[in-house]
Amino acid sequence: MIWQIELVVLLIVIICGIGAITVKDLLGAAILFGAYSFMMCLLWAIMGAVDVAFTEASVGAGISTVLFVATVFRTSRRTKD
């Protein structure tokens, strides 16, 4: 596998992870979390674990982002801390 692509994807994973816990806007955090899941899905696919990648794409990037957005819609959009 091309190691440059892996490195870029891994960097985006770390940036999204740090961004998701530091950003004040919870809707933005939910979107960042979705991007994080999608990049993890790419990493699983690179490592040949296609079933896990599929699960990550559907559960992590798909459903859980929607559930986060629904929760933010019903609660507050800004964090207290």
Partner 1 sequence: MKTLAIFIVLLFGGLLIYCTLDFPSWGDPQAPASMHVSPRYIERTMEETSVPNIVTAVLADYRGYDTMFETIVIFSAGVACLFLLRIFKRIEPETQLYRHIPTGITLRIAKGAEPPRESREFERIDLMWVPYDLIIKTSARLIVPFSQIFALYVIAHGHHSPGGGFQGGVILGASIILFAISHNLRSSFTRISEKFAVLLCGLGVFIYAGTGALSIFLGSNYLDYGALSKIFGVDPVTARSHGILMVEIGVGICVMAVMVHLYYNLASAGRHDEGL
Lookup: tokens for 66: 């929607």
Is residue 21 within the footprint of partner 1 (CB under 8 A)? no
> Measured from the CB atom, is 12 or 43 closer to partner 1?
43
Q: How many other C-beta atoms are found inside a 10 Å radius of the C-beta of residue 60? A: 17
Is residue 69 within the footprint of partner 1 (CB under 8 A)? yes
Is residue 18 within the footprint of partner 1 (CB under 8 A)? no
CB 35 within 8 A of CB 16: yes
Strand partners, 25: 78
Q: Considering only residues 5, 67, 77, 79, which one is a binding residue for partner 1 as defined by CB under 8 A?
A: 67
> Measured from the CB atom, is 39 or 61 closer to partner 1?
61
Give the DSSP per-residue string, 52-70.
HHHHIIIIIIIIHHHHHHH
Q: Considering only residues 8, 11, 18, 71, which one is a binding residue for partner 1 as defined by CB under 8 A?
A: 71
